[in-house]
Amino acid sequence: MGTVGAFMRRVALLLTCLTMGFAPAMAAPCPGNPNALGTARTITVEQTAFPRIGTVQYRNTLPLNDREVVITFDDGPLPPYTTRVLDALARECVQATFFLVGRMATAHPELVRRIYNAGHVIGTHSQNHPLTFDQMELPRVEREVTAGIASVQAAAGNPKAVAPFFRIPGLARTRQVEAYLASKSLSVWSADEVADDWFRDVTASDIVRKAIERIEGRGRGVLLLHDIHPATAMAVPVLLRELKKRGFKVVHAIPAGERPRSVPELDTPVADSGSWPRVVKASAPAVAQTATLPRLPAARPDAARSPLTTRTTTVSAARKQSYPTGTTTSHTTNRRTATAAPSRTQTVVQRRTWTTSWPRQTRYSYWR
């Protein structure tokens, strides 16, 4: 009788799950990784039910159970960091949501398609990532939003591959902006937890610590990360293992309606095909877990105008670090620009030697 009772309970639970529109937690095994974090279940996000998401700014968020997280990434795609993040997610069979910047997508369409074909959801994050959505006239907001969507759709090769999910750059919301986004049937995504991974000088271990502290604090939530930063790329594999260790489950939030199964792939440009950082000689195992990334050199007043030049900065006598050829940073009160030129350089981190290759000139700016 006990067995039959247990069976009936399982059937009842399954029916409850189905009637509530949730897929039951039946994660498929992860090839090559029996201990993978995995993706426990999927929830469908309709704009009418979820016009605004994330307790950092709103009263409402996704209907997550205790110890459930939704993982989101902003500002990409940018090789080689997005590539590293995708590798880490694939190893753990975790599905995430990527809010892509239009001009980044135009520059790296092959990565946009890789993100989609790996089963992740693609939302948008404006065309140029201006940090003044709360100050701009509405026509400019409209241009940023629609151009961003058009660029990401074109890069994806199929407009239906792009979800009606939008994250406002810098989370600079206003009622007017939200009303406009609602009129376009876009769900506005804020977050429940951030990990401060856009801060200057943040390390991978800082990101993991802050993310875990804040997720543990709320017990669940939508986590916001940025796949364009080296420290975040380093943090993600560690963070996923830490979530698994603590019994968290990943939920994948998908848009309503039909989506293409896949989009045609594009060849990866030769310059981008190398992984980063490639370990050429490691003095101890578990490199990714313990490594600290080199900090970017301090801002110089003329950095924004200076031509790309070779630049090596010694951080301390005890720990020598070098930076990729052409790395410059400029820093004003709320914005930093980093520029990297094609180069190869050696980086020594905690007595381990890595070859770090910067695939080609990339330029991005972000707020802090």
Closest distance of CB 169 from Zn ion, Å: 5
- Reference 362, options 320, 294, 308; nearest CA is 308
Q: In the window 54-93, what residues touch Zn ion (CB under 5 A)?
A: 74-75
Contacts of 87 (CB under 8 A, 6+ apart): 275
Using the minimum distance from each CB to Zn ion, give the nearer residue, 124 or 327. 124
Closest distance of CB 131 from Zn ion, Å: 8
Cα torsion 272, 273, 277, 283: sign? negative
Pair of tokens at residue 109: 């369409």
- Reference 43, options 261, 250, 263; nearest CA is 250
Using the minimum distance from each CB to Zn ion, give the nearer residue, 160 or 200. 200
SS (H, E, C) 28-95: CCCCCCCCCCCCCEEEEECCCCCCEECCCCCCCCCCCCCCEEEEEEECCCCCCHHHHHHHHHHHCCCC
Closest distance of CB 111 from Zn ion, Å: 16
Using the minimum distance from each CB to Zn ion, give the nearer residue, 76 or 255. 76
Closest distance of CB 335 from Zn ion, Å: 12
Closest distance of CB 147 from Zn ion, Å: 16
Closest distance of CB 228 from Zn ion, Å: 9
Closest distance of CB 338 from Zn ion, Å: 14
- In the bound complex, which residue of the shown chain has the CB atom lying closest to Zn ion? 74
Site string for Zn ion, 153-192 (x = CB under 5 A): ----------------x-----------------------
Using the minimum distance from each CB to Zn ion, give the nearer residue, 40 or 181. 181
Using the minimum distance from each CB to Zn ion, give the nearer residue, 75 or 192. 75
Three-state DSSP state, 118: coil
Residue with tokens 């070779």: 310
Using the minimum distance from each CB to Zn ion, give the nearer residue, 103 or 241. 103
- Reference 149, options 119, 114, 192, 112; nearest CA is 112
Q: Angle at CA 131, nearest 5°, toward 127 and 134? A: 105
DSSP tag of 25: S
Site string for Zn ion, 288-327 (x = CB under 5 A): ----------------------------------------
Using the minimum distance from each CB to Zn ion, give the nearer residue, 172 or 315. 172
Helices 81-91 and 230-245, packing angle to 10 deg = 10
* Residues within the interface to Zn ion (CB under 5 A): 74-75, 169
